Amino acid sequence: MNVVLLGAPGAGKGTQASMLADKYNLLHISTGDIFRANIKGGTKIGKLAKSYIDKGQLVPDEVTCDIVKDRLAQKDTSCGYMLDGFPRNLFQAKELDKFASIDYCLNIDVPLGLLMDRICGRRVCTCGESYHVSTLGGATTCLKCGKELYQRADDNPETVGARLKTYTQQTAPLIDYYKAQGKLISVDGNGSPKEVFARICEALKAPANRI
């Protein structure tokens, strides 16, 4: 099963992707994570990506599409994968259809008004876990692995505003793109990660929920 995860920044794509990857034995491929690893490693791609990410803009399509194409060409993807953060515009979606075969698009639907607080209160761990300050009770380390939590550089109000705008203008139209292909599964992303996960699993079980 090859799945595209769609949703606004902060909708919970990353959280749901890692839970889904565990349950369905899928590979979790996040373009955001790939860019952040490149930034950390000081690579050429990392330097280029940073200049866009800091502004809440999309990294150019040629760079992003090449990265995903190369990644999907690796053998370990044969068991199925979950694309988190790609495609993010119509061009990328059409490119993806040239080199991959997507079964479903899972859209996590969260009212845009909730996202600023969700993202600005987000604290993340290098192990992949993420939390919201409101549930940490003052803790500053990861409940799963004990490492110090940190805030992503682009999780500040100004950049988040730009990311939400980019999402509305460029990414949201992909909902209709996948709907037209009969591949869209949309779930309500409001609630705890566990609640949303249960909804997703139900929706994946019942094709009637596909819209």
Residues that bind Zn ion (CB under 5 A): 125, 127, 129, 142, 144-145, 147
If binding means CB under 6 A, how many residues of this protein chain bind ligand ADP?
18
Question: In the annotation, is 122 catalytic?
Answer: yes
Please choose which of Zn ion, ligand ADP, none residue 142 contacts, taking the beta carbon within 5 to 8 angstroms, the exact cut-off set by kind.
Answer: Zn ion
The CB-side HSE value for 140 (13 A sphere, CA atoms) comes to: 2
- The residues in 65-104 that bind ligand ADP, with binding defined as CB under 6 A, are 85-86, 88, 92
Interacting positions 29-58 with ligand ADP (CB under 6 A) = 31-32, 35, 52-53, 56-58
Segment holding 188, helix H or strand E: strand 184-188
Q: What is the rounded CA–CA span in Å between residue 155 and residue 149?
A: 14
SS3 147: coil
Catalytic residue chosen out of the listed positions 50, 123, 163, 199: 163
User: What distances in angstroms separate CA 206 from CA 1, 18, 186, 203, one per listed residue?
Assistant: 15, 21, 12, 5
Binding at 144: pick from Zn ion, ligand ADP, none (beta carbon under 5-8 Å per type): Zn ion
DSSP letters, 57-99, are: PPPPHHHHHHHHHHHHTSGGGGG-EEEES---SHHHHHHHHHH
Residues forming the active site: 13, 88, 122, 152, 163
The footprint of ligand ADP (CB under 6 A) covers 9-10, 13, 31-32, 35, 52-53, 56-59, 64, 85-86, 88, 92, 163
